[in-house]
Amino acid sequence: MAKVPKLPDPTKNPDWKIAQAAERYMKPIKQIGEELGLTEEELLLHGHYVAKVDYKKVLERLKDRPDGKYIDVTAITPTPLGEGKSTTTMGLLQGMGRLGLNVTAAIRQPSGGPTMNIKGSAAGGGLAQCIPLTPFSLGLTGDINAIMNAHNLAMVALTARMQHERNYTDEQLRRLSKMKRLNIDPTRVEMGWVIDFCAQALRHIIIGIDRGNKYNGYMMESKFGIAVSSEVMAILAVATDLKDMRERMGKIVVAYDKKGDPITTEDLQVAGAMTAWMVEALNPNLLQSLEGQPVFVHAGPFANIAIGQSSIIADRVALKLSDYHITESGFGADIGFEKFWNLKCRYSGLKPHCAVVVATIRALKCHGGAPIPVPGKPMPPEYSKENVGWVEKGCENLIHHINTVKKAGINPVVCINAFYTDTKDEINAVRRLAEQAGARVAVSRHWEKGGEGAIEFAEAVVDACKEKNRFRFLYDLKLPLRKRIEKIAKEVYGAAGVDYSAEAEAKAKRIEEDPELSQLGTCMVKTHLSLSDNPNLKGVPKGWRLFVRDILTYGGAGFVVPVAGTISLMPGTGSNPAYRRVDVDVKTGKVKGLF
C-alpha cells in the first residue's frame, strides 16, 4: 500500500481545500489503471488523472475470471443534508485498502443541480473523497451532457414532426420527406426537455409561440426535468452493452397518438442518432480516492426521482478486476436499495454479498424528535449536544431499513458514520439496538481519519461477505402493477395502503392489460426525506396511505414509474445556493468553493 499523505484537518477545513491538498499527491491515472490490471488499450485517457475504461475489451478479456464480492452501500432516511453514503463508500474503499485488499468502488456522477444548489458535490467528504474534485463535480468526461443532447434530440424530433404534420398534407409529407403521418396528440406528450440544474421556473412552460409565423414551432404546454431524471440516464444505468442500449433507446415512449397508441423514438426515426450521442458515455469513468484506490464513476444520482444507481457496466467491469467491489445506491434503503434490489440486480443478474446501511447520529436525532434541519441554514445547536433519548427513538427508522435489507436475504452491516460531536453513549445506543435487530455494527471515523478510521468497518464488511445469503426479489414481474406497488408500499415503506388519482388509476389498468408493459419493472418516485410520501413525517410513520398521482412509462429503461406525493422531477434552487461560494483563482485557474 502506498504511503498516505498528511492532509488538512477536516474539522477545520472545507472539503475542497482537503481535495486540493490531496491532488498534489495523486497517482497518474495510467498508474491506477496498471495497478488495477488494465491494459494500455483498455484505458482511454482524459488528461493525466481521469480516464474512461473500454468496458467491452475488459469484459471480453476477463470473461472467464470469477467475479469479486459485491457490496452495496445504502442508508437510513437522510436529513435534508444527506447521510454521507458517498463519503462512507470512499471510507470503506480506503479502509479495505488499508487491509491490503484488492478493492474498487463505483459511485454516481454528481448532477450540476445539487452541486450548484444546497447539497454541493457528491465526491464524499473530509478525508474520504473521490478526486480530482473539480472535473468530478463539473461535467467530468461529458456523460451528462451526452444524455441531455440525446434526450433533447428526441424532443426536437417530436416538436418538428408536430409542426410539419400541421403545416403539410399527407401527400406533401410523403413527397418532401417520405414521412407517414403519426397524428400525435399534443395533450399526451410524455417527455419534456432536460437541463442539469435545479430550475423550478422551467417546470411548466409554453413552447412554440409562433408570433404569426407557422414555421416557428408547434405551440403547446411543455416542461423540463433535471437531466439525471431522464430515461436516457436510466438506460445508461441498466444497459449491458451498446446493442442493448440501442434497442432500449428505440423503445422510449415520447408521446401518444390520437388513438392512444404510443409514439416511440423509433417511430420518430431518432433513436439511432440519440444512441450516437451515447457511444462514448457507455464507457465508465475511472478516478481515485484520496488514498489512491480506483473509483469508477458512472450514471447519475437522485434515487427519489430516478433509478439512482451506479451503472451495471461499471459494476461488471469492477467485479472482474477486483476481489471486492463497493457500489452505491441513492438515498435510503426504501428507495435506493429497493431499486438496486428489484431493478438493477434483476437486470444485471448480479447478487450482492453484503449491504451497508449508513446512519449518522444527527439523522437519528432528527427521526427521534430533534428540530428538522433546513437546507442552507446552520445546523440547529441541539445536534451537537448529547441526547441519547432522541437517538434511541430515531433508531426505529434504522431498524426499519435493517429489516428491508434482510427481506432481500442480504447480510446487513450498519455503519455508524461518526463525527467528532457524537458521544460514546449515543454510539453505544445505536450499536445495542442495531445488533438486537440482527445487524453487524461498526463505527467508522473515515470522515475525520480516512482509511485508518474505517478499519473496524472494513473488517465487519469482509466478515459479512464470508456468509452465505439467500438473495430474493420482493416481487415477481408477473404480479399485477397495482399489487406490486402495494407490496412495495406496505413492506418497504410501511404504508397502510395505496390510493390513486383518477389518471394514475386509468394508466395502471391500461398497463396491467398490456402484455408487454405489464412485465416491466417498477421504479417508484417518492420523497427521500421520509419513509412516507410526506417529507415532514420522520421516524417510522404509521397509518398513512401512499398517494400515487401519476404513472409514467419508461419502455426503454424497462420499467413503469409510479409518481407518489407531490415530488417533482425538477428540483428547485434554494435561497442560499452553493454557486454563491464557487469561484476561480485567476492566477492558478483552480476552482474553489466546491463542497
Is 447 catalytic? The answer is yes
> Whats the size of the chain, residue-wise?
595
132 prior amide bond cis, ω within 30: yes
- 320 tagged catalytic: no
Active site residue 457: no
Question: Considering 119, 339, 440, 484, which one is annotated as catalytic?
Answer: 119
Catalytic residue among 79, 87, 275, 573: 87
* DSSP states of 381-445: GGGGS--HHHHHHHHHHHHHHHHHHHHTT--EEEEEE--TT--HHHHHHHHHHHHHTT-EEEEE-
Phi and psi dihedrals of 258, rounded to 5?
Answer: -75, -10
Q: Give me the catalytic one of 52, 108, 161, 246.
A: 108
Chain centre distance of CA 525 = 12
Q: Which of 296, 341, 447, 547 is catalytic?
A: 447
Q: Which of 136, 331, 390, 559 is labelled catalytic? A: 331
For this structure, is 588 an active site residue? no
Active-site residue identified among 419, 547, 559, 595: 419
Print the SS3 string covering 1-32: CCCCCCCCCCCCCCHHHHHHHHHCCCCCHHHH
What is the phi/psi pair of residue 90, to 5°? -65, -40
CA separation (Å) from 98 to 18, 102, 503?
A: 20, 10, 54
Q: Which of 303, 408, 439, 578 is catalytic?
A: 303
- Please, which residues have CB within 8 angstroms of residue 104's CB and are 6 or more apart in sequence? 36, 93, 293, 294, 295, 296, 318, 321, 322, 324, 325, 326
11 is catalytic: no
Catalytic residue (one of 51, 52, 74, 85): 85
In 3D space, the residue among 368, 358, 291 whose CA is nearest the CA of residue 328 turns out to be 358
Detail the DSSP E strand segments found in 42-197: 43-45, 51-53, 69-75, 103-107, 124-125, 128-131, 184-189, 193-195
The yes-or-no answer on residue 246 being catalytic is no
Around Cβ 453, how many Cβ atoms within 10 Å?
Answer: 22
Q: Give the span between the Cα atoms of 10 and 322, in whole angstroms.
A: 30
Q: What would the grid cell of residue 1 be?
A: 500500500
Q: Which residues are catalytic?
A: 85, 87, 108, 119, 303, 331, 419, 447
